[in-house]
Each structure stands twice: as C-alpha cells, then as structure tokens.
Structure 1
Amino acid sequence: MAGYDDDLRLAHVLADAADATTMARFKALDLSVETKPDMTPVTEADKETEELIRTSLGRARPRDAVLGEEYGSAGAGPRRWIVDPIDGTKNYVRGVPVWATLIALTELGQDGLERPVVGLVSAPALNRRWWAALGGGAYSGRSLTSASRLEVSRVAEIADASFAYSSLTGWEERDRLDGLLQLSRDCWRTRAYGDFWPYMMVAEGAVDICAEPELSMWDMAAPAIVVQEAGGRFTGLDGRDGVHSGNAAASNGLLHHPLLGYLGD
C-alpha cells in the first residue's frame, strides 16, 4: 500500500471535512432540496460538500483530474478523483441515516481502462467508515490508526447466501425482475438495504451477494476497491470486472458466477 499511503491519508482528511458539512445539515428543517434534470433530488449539502472536496483537491493534488456527481469532470491525466458527495440523497432528505460520502482515486492502466486504486466510504450518521488501497487490503474503523481488516464471507451455496438489493423498479425496467425474484426464493435471506451499504456488508462478510441494475461511476469506484481488497469480486452484470458497465454485481467471489446466472446479461 506504500504507493498510495499519502492519497489514502488525503481521502480521510477530505472525508473528515465532508462529514462535518453533511452532518451539520442532516435533518435541518430549512434544508434546501432541488430536483435535477434526471428527476433525482440534490440538496445544498450535496453541492457544498462536493465544492469543499474539489477545492481541497485543487490545493493538494492540482495535477489530478476530478469527476463529481454534481459538478461533472475537470482536468485531465492518468489520475482522477471520483466523488459522490452524498450517496443516498433520498435517505438524507428524509432523515434516514443510510447515506455516505464516496471518495475514490483511479488510475489509467496500460490497457487504457480506468481502475480504482484508493476508495473511501464515510457514513457519519451510522458512525461508520470503510476504506481500501490497491494491494493494501480493506479496513473499517474511525481512523487509519483505529481499524479492523475486512474479509468477505466463505459462503459457497446460494441456498445459504444473504442477498442485498436496492429496489424492484430498476430490475423490472431491465426485464430482470423474474431473475431477481427467483434469486430471492433460492437464497437464504434478502434485504433491500440500498446504495453503498450492501457493498460494504459484502466486504465485511455480513452479506454474501448484492447487485444494482443502474449506476454511475461515482456510485461504484469507491465501493468496488473496498470489495475487491476484502477478497471479493466486483463486476458489471455483463461479468466484466471493474466499474464500466453502468451496473454492478458484487460478491464474496465464490458466489459470483451463480449471482450472474440469475441477474446477468
């Protein structure tokens, strides 16, 4: 992990500032909420948090590019920071504590594909944080010096598996609802936790498989490397490793092929 120590420390500093900003407005009675062109909500906290992170990156990593959900892409080069200021904005707006700031650093490989090398997921309302760096393992805790290493489960049969998903609507739109329902019948347990949380629970070994039918790069970059560094697998529904398919399937690795058998393309 030595090659990314400074970047990981920076990600924690960015997350500390983001947590302070998001928590200050969480459950605020005068929270300003707008509707974006894609009909999803955005709050003043989303915008303020991304602006804060971008400003800090501009000072600390001026040569790196940045991609954020609210303000798009800036800069160019082989390294890019990818930011979702509040993953789970609908929860945030309603006072549900399941939301997080997602921060990732990606690098371009020799094949021209962008891959996450650092990822951090900070959920201050849950008092939880998860992170990983390429080759250094995945961890959860309050800080770099107070953390536990993450490891995926060893469940090897769908009948024994816990499956987490987001909602039914997206699967119906993809004509995959039948597969989702069959998987829910065949596995041991299903829960609709949604957003970042299922991926973190896969990394912790608390959940064995999860999937979502429609995602953006900023939704996936940080969770992907946390899952991978915990020993799991993160692909698109088409089976391609990485974060370029517009959707995701994550597992402990042992159950990945069966998972794609139910939900994959």
Structure 2
Amino acid sequence: MANATDLALAHHLADLADGIARRYFTAAGLTVHTKNDGSPVTDADWEIEHSLRSEIRRRRPHDAFIGEEYGERGKARRRWIIDGIDGTASFVAGEPEWSTLIALEDHGTITLGMVSAPALGSRWWAAPGAGAWTGPSPSRSPAHSRRLTITPGGHGHDAVLGIWPPPHRLSEPHRAIAAKLAGHTARTRPALDWSAAETSTPPPRKPSTGSGTCHGGLLVATGQLDAFLLLGAGPWDIAALIPIVQEAGGAFSDLAGQQRTDTGAALFAKPAIHHELLAVIISST
C-alpha cells in the first residue's frame, strides 16, 4: 500500500514534472512530433517521463515503472505508472488543460493517484482510505487543500455523460457502446452523434476543456459530470484517476466490471449510475 512517504515522493515527482513542463510551455518554437498512432508528442513528454523514471530509480530502486512514451522497466510488486503530459494537443495549442498523471500500483491495485496541472495552478491526489484532495502544490501552498466529495444518487436517464475520444477515432464495437450509453443518458459531452463514423467539423473538444480540470475522470470527482467513458486508453491514462474518483465517493471499472487498467477502457461514475451504465454495456456486448 502507499504511505505518507510515497505520497510525498509523488508530490516531488509532480513538482519536477511541473518545472519541466512550464519551461517548454512558455518557450517559443515548441517542436511537435507525430507518433505511429497519429497523436502528437513533444520533447516535454519525453523529458518528463525520462526525468521521473530516473528519480524513481534513484529513490525506489526496487520499484518497476511504465510510461506512455518509453514503455515498461522492471517487474516488481510495486509499479509506478506515468503519463508525462496528458493532453499534449492542448499543451501544443497553448491551452492550460494538460497535466502529468502519476500512479502507484501494488500487487495489481492502484494505491496512489496524482494529477498535476501547473498551468491551472491545480493538483488532485488520493490514496485509499486517505480521501481525495485538490489544491495547489503543497510545496507552494500547503494549507489550501480541499477534500473532494461526490454527491451520491442519480439515475442514468438524467445523467450527463462525458465520452472520449470522438466517434471517428473509435473501433466499431466501442462506437456501438458509446452510442448505446449516449441513448441511455440525458446528454453527452461533447454533444455528438456517437453512432457516426464520420469526422465532425469543427473537431470536437474534450469534455474537460473549459471546465477547469484536465481529464474527464476528474470531472466526475469534482461533480461536473455524472459519468465519464474513456475508450482506447492505456494504463497511464486511467490509473491515476482511479483512487481520486473512488476516494471522492465514485466508482470505476473497465467495460466488463473489472478493476483493471490494461483493457483499454474505463468507466468512472457516481456509484448508482455506474452500476446502471455498466449493466447497459454488458447487456449490449
């Protein structure tokens, strides 16, 4: 399990990532590369992941590590899961809603999650049994943290559901699931025809854009969405959000109802709505 020392290390790693990201974010002429899947990556993504990997190796030499850009290093009971910059497109566009995602896994269970968004001056973190919190970096303002609490209850037919990515980037089975859930809920963000395979014009914005958070899972933890469906994701996109949503009072699973980060999908929601939407997913597959 994560402990106070692990949480302190996660904040330290987030501080390191914040410093690197700020340097690139405010610099002119940021170089953008294109990965094999067509998504953007920058030198900031690479440097953050390399720096955090090196710091974890120095401070926790027996822990394993996996990151979006450089893959996995080592096999161990404990594993750090890192996304150097989540929301690289926003980062490149000069928009503030991007973040570094940091998680710690112990025997297959995520025991610590942290999301740091320096351009917003915000951070979110949680560990099982310790609550979910938001505030500035404790090193900058240690006395201004606020506990997150999700209002329970609700029904799927009244729910606001965030879904990402947009339909044209989804596989046909995932697009069918998104369309099924969109038809079951009151409205979706973004408001799209989730059964359509065509590219929309203009390109849709993520559910988090303009909301003051960086990730759809955080919108659930902060009460701005009732549910969020993330499809085609890696463990680095999901892991850090799990304890934050759960400690705030929400629920998480993959599309089969399992507590896994390696199946490419995540459903975050208020507990009653999560149960309802998961039943819709399972009945349609």
TM-score, length-scaled by structure 2: 0.83
Cα offset, 1:206, TM superposition = 2.1
Partner of 2:99: 100
Matched, 1:137 2:155: no
- Of the three residues 112, 121, 124, the one matched with 1:127 is 121
State the number of aligned residues: 259
**Which residues of 2 match residues 8-27 of structure 1 at below 5 A?**
8-26=7-25
SS at match of 1:254: helix
TM-score, length-scaled by structure 1: 0.89
Q: Which runs of 5+ in 2 are unaligned?
A: 191-205, 209-213
Alpha-carbon spacing, 1:199–1:233, altered in 2? closer, same or farther (3 Å): same
Alpha-carbon spacing, 1:52–1:171, altered in 2? closer, same or farther (3 Å): closer
SS at match of 1:120: strand
Cα offset, 1:256, TM superposition = 0.9
CA contact (8 A) 1:140 1:149 kept: yes
Residue identity (%): 40
Partner of 1:240: 258
- Of the three residues 237, 240, 244, the one matched with 1:222 is 240
SS at match of 2:257: coil
Deviations 1:124-183 (A, max 9, x none): 122221000122111111144331111123242123322112233267523344553454
CA contact (8 A) 1:224 1:242 kept: no
Matched, 1:207 2:225: yes
Alpha-carbon spacing, 1:172–1:101, altered in 2? closer, same or farther (3 Å): closer
Partner of 1:150: 148
**Distance in 1 between the 2:170 and 2:4 partners?**
42
Q: Which runs of 5+ in 1 are unaligned?
A: 109-113
**Distance in 1 between the 2:5 and 2:227 partners?**
32
**Distance in 2 between the 1:26 and 1:71 partners?**
21
- Of the three residues 253, 256, 259, the one matched with 2:274 is 256
Partner of 1:85: 84
**Which residues of 2 match residues 45-124 of structure 1 at below 5 A?**
45-108=44-107, 114-124=108-118
Cα offset, 1:241, TM superposition = 2.1
